[in-house]
Structure 1
Amino acid sequence: MLALLRRDKFALAAAVFLVVVVLAALVGPPLLGGIGIDMDLMARNAPPFEPDRGFWHILGSDALGRPILARIIIAARPTLLIAAAAVLLSMVVGVLLGLIAGYKGGIVGDVIMRLTDIVMSFPSLLLALVVLYIFGPAITNVIIVLAITRVPVYLRTTRAEVLEIRSRMFVVAAEVTGASVFRTVSRHILPMVVPTIATLMTIEFAFVMLAEASLSFLGLGVQAPDFTWGVMVAEGRSYLATAWWLSFWPGVFIALVTMSLNLLSNWLRIATDPVQRWRLEREVASDE
């Protein structure tokens, strides 16, 4: 897979950037200490690229004189954790229900699909806004709401895959030889669904990040003292005319991570598809 990844320069650059962001989110906050939290009123709304103020102020300072670069690194952890938790939760629930609806079918499958249709009948962002307005904008509530709105995507995708796979010969052979439902699904059907789900998770991670940023921008996402990139964008909207960098730089990082995830998902779709993967393998073989 690494050899295939090296063949796609854009996907490789996206993967390297994402690894750097994840490492910064993991090790950055403990190493920074209070750099991104301590106020310096002498540096209020200091513009970017002023070397006299030091390295951490290279992207400018916010309304309380805190360096934007340090705050972006600190905010990377909650931003990625919220997106990862929501994606994993929605994936587990959606894939499980999709396997049941696709393999079991019948009344159970119909009930699951009708409930899915009800959830999908509401715009996901509008549903999240209503729920967070009622229950309050806590981090846990944000994760649960974002997960619920994305469950139908995994459910419908998994069900469609299962309906196509269950009629294949190797699945029929497993059923004829007396394999249990659990063994048939876990050993023969689920591995065939995993590549599609992995690609979908990459795309959904980007979507959930944007959704969390939208909720935070509207004031119903993460609340102080916690902050994410979306919160930083929201905090800077009052200064767009005088200090554009407060919202610009966290918005740039949201866009870069989202674009990198989309590039990586496109490569992953090709690399896991036997119909298209041979092209990448041929290019690798020709280089060798």
Structure 2
Amino acid sequence: MSQIDSAITTANPIYKPPPAWRTTLGMLWRDKFAFAAACILLVVIFCAIFGPMLFEDVATRQNLRGRNAPPFDLSRGWLFILGGDQLGRPLLARIIVASQNTMAVAAGAVACSLLIGTGLGLIAGYTTKTASQVIMRLADVIMSFPSLLLAVIVLYVLEPSVGNLVIVLAITRIPIYLRTSRAEVLEVRERMFVQAAQVMGASTKRIVARHILPVVAPTLITIATLDFAFVMLAESSLSFLGIGIQPPEITWGLMVSQGRPYLTSAWWLSFWPGLAIILTTLSLNLLSGWMRTALDPSQRWRLEVNKEKAKND
């Protein structure tokens, strides 16, 4: 319940505040940039889930008569609105199908690094000094290697695949969540409600799960949204270098790499998948900015004040 709804409920006990989901959607609708970003991400997620089932056959069917077909030429069908690639396959269908691998790698890496990093950060921030020092030195070791360089070395030794790519990118991102969650826990553990729970005899697991984690979670979710964009760009970079996902599998970064020899004669082979990467990462950055305000109780009132101003106008 928001602060404004709480005040209204106190003054008028009959008043029932709107559901939380409706309030959140209302705040999102009033921020047009964040709303547009959410719509774009929903389209990308829909394509990643259902795209391969609908267009996988079309995306892999070769037609040398339509190789490097120019965009906006609908004589070959609406799937060629973005043009064809070097083997005559429609770029639109390939971008839709490639979204699954791109999003799967980014989502898997972010989810693994978020869970492992947050767990280690909670342990390092709320347990003994020895455990904290061991965990933080582990984070320092991981951070001492450049993330892309570590990924290049590991993927050069191992077979490039979706699973290996997720593992490598997850390992390189763990210190981000570890250090952030530990810093948040060190601050939250000194607050009065945590000390009150300790005095009442609550166990360590209960204090961490019920009192500390809910306060730390909004910050970590915001970081994960930003990190999703970074991991997606890292995967695209590795695929562009040729050590990421290998054909016949496709990702947006691999499509950009495959279109590089044709930049002077068929620019659209690299332009459209590159545009998909840019739009997705930009949408994630815009949405993370909105989430930073919406999930922070000390900042959420700004969106609620804008709601009241919109009603008065």
| Structure 1 residue 163 displacement after superposition | 0.4
Matched residue type, 1:210? L
1:277 maps to which residue? 300
Per-residue deviation, residues 128-173 of structure 1 (Å, max 9, x unmatched): 1111111121211100000000000000000010000000000011
In the alignment, what sits opposite 2:105? 82
Q: Specify the alignment match of 2:172 in structure 1.
A: 149
In structure 2, list runs of 5 or more residues that go unmatched.
1-23
Residue matched to 1:158: 181
CA distance in 1, matches of 2:230, 2:91: 24
Provide the residue aligned with 1:26 in structure 2.
49
Please give the alpha-carbon distance, in whole angstroms, between the structure 2 residues aligned to 1:44 and 1:16: 32
**In the alignment, residue 265 of structure 2 is paired with which amino acid?**
T
Match of 1:127 among 144, 150, 175: 150
Distance in 2 (alpha carbons) for counterparts of 1:159 and 1:63:
50
Q: 2:222 aligns with which of 182, 192, 199?
A: 199
Tell me the TM-score normalized by structure 1. Answer: 0.98
Give 1:261-276 correspondences, 5 Å limit.
261-276=284-299
Q: Whole-Å Cα distance in 2 between the matches of residues 105 and 209 of structure 1?
A: 36
Q: Given the alignment, which residue of 163, 167, 170 partners 2:190?
A: 167
For each residue in 1:218-258, what CA deviation from the matched residue of structure 2 results, as whole angstroms up to 9, or x when unmatched? 11100111111111111111111111111110000000000
Alignment correspondent of 2:30: 7
* Corresponding residue number in structure 2 for 1:47: 70
User: Which of 102, 113, 116 matches 2:136?
Assistant: 113
How many residues of Structure 1 are paired with residues of Structure 2 in the alignment? Answer: 288
Structure 2: which amino acid aligns with 1:147?
A
- The corresponding residue for 1:73 is 96
1:189 and 2:212 aligned:
yes
Runs of 4 or more above 4 Å deviation: none
**What amino acid is aligned across from residue 251 of structure 1 in structure 2?**
G
The yes-or-no answer on 1:211 pairing with 2:234 is yes
Letter in 1 for 2:206: R
Q: Aligned partners of 1:275 and 1:188: how far apart in 2?
A: 17
Partner SS, residue 58 of structure 2:
coil
Structure 1 segment 225-240 matched on structure 2, within 5 A:
225-240=248-263
Answering whether residue 263 of structure 2 is matched by residue 253 of structure 1, we say: no
**Cα distance in structure 2, aligned partners of 1:74 and 1:242:** 25
1:58 corresponds to which of 62, 81, 90: 81
Please tell me whether the aligned partners of residues 101 and 162 of structure 2 are also in contact (alpha carbons under 8 angstroms): no
* 1:119 to 1:33, Cα distance in 2 relative to 1, 3 A: closer
Q: Provide TM-score, normalisation by structure 2.
A: 0.90
Measure, in 2, the Cα distance between the counterparts of 1:95 and 1:22: 25
- Counterpart amino acid of 2:106? A
Task: State the alpha-carbon separation in 2 of the partners of residues 148 and 133 from structure 1.
Answer: 16
Residue 33 of structure 1 and its aligned partner are, at CA, apart by: 4.4
2:83 partner letter: G
CA RMSD of the aligned region, Å?
A: 0.9
1:6 Cα deviation after fit:
1.0
- Helix, strand or coil for the counterpart of 1:34? helix
TM-superposed deviation, 1:286:
2.6
CA deviation map 1:56-106 (0-9, x unaligned)? 111111110000000000001111111101000000000000000011141
* 2:299 alignment partner, SS class: helix
CA distance in 1, matches of 2:201, 2:91: 62
Equivalent residue letter for 1:120? M
Distance in 2 (CA, whole Å) between partners of 1:140 and 1:180 is 37
Higher Cα radius of gyration? 2
Please say if residues 56 and 97 of structure 2, whose CA atoms lie closer than 8 Å, have aligned partners that are also in contact: no
Which of the residues 32, 36, 45 maps onto 2:59?
A: 36
Mapped to 1, the partners of 2:127 and 2:281 lie a distance apart of 36
Cα distance in 2, alignment partners of residues 7 and 139 from structure 1: 38
